[in-house]
Amino acid sequence: MSLTLAKVFDPFVKERPICVMARGVLENLFNPERIDGLFERTAKVQYTRALVFSSVVDLMGQVVLGVQPSIHAAYQAQAEKLGVSDQAVYDKLNHVELGVSAELVRDSARQAAAVIRALRAPLPPLLKGYRTRILDGNHLSATEHRIEELRGTWASPLPGKILVVLDPECMVASDVFPCEDGHAQ
């Protein structure tokens, strides 16, 4: 780090080290090159033309973390940088393969758990001597009432099921098993 940059960051590191660490962890966790590499390795049908997968993950992250109220708002804030239409963003989102989504969760969990363990911050095991996991699921039916935020749009949740595996020591979702056809199970 350059001397000038060190002068800028030193007060933050001294006064708010957790904030600096959290930012560093999140930047590493959502590193665009790593996420695009994950997409290239995992995607079977979908491909990259003009819109890279990491851009879609970034847009989703802005919504999930409350920076933007919707995908459309996140897109509008970066439309010029992205260089694609909003329809291209929605098409990419609508066609993300289940395997890509599941691998993104697994990869993020591995990265986060490694940091938690390096900081020696995992919670005590639920059952001493055993590696426990918590399995939970959800079912979205086609007739399920839409949340208020989606009532003004044509978009609606599609029927499907998902099982999520929680690592209670690190408190991360370590695996997911999505199924887009909830009737097939």
Reported as a single tens digit per residue, the pLDDT across 87-105 is 999 999 989 999 999 999 9
Q: What is the pLDDT of residues 41-56, one digit of tens each?
A: 999 998 888 899 999 9
- DSSP H helices in the chain: 3-15, 17-29, 32-42, 53-64, 71-82, 86-94, 98-118
Q: Is the pLDDT at 141 greater than 70, yes or no?
A: no
Structural domain boundaries in the chain: 122-185
Contacts of 175 (CB under 8 A, 6+ apart): 102, 105, 106, 109, 164, 165
Q: How many CB atoms sit inside 10 A of residue 160's CB?
A: 19
Is 151 buried (19+), middle (13-18) or exposed (0-12) by CB count in 10 A? exposed
Q: Is the pLDDT at 168 greater than 90, yes or no?
A: yes
> How much is the pTM?
0.77
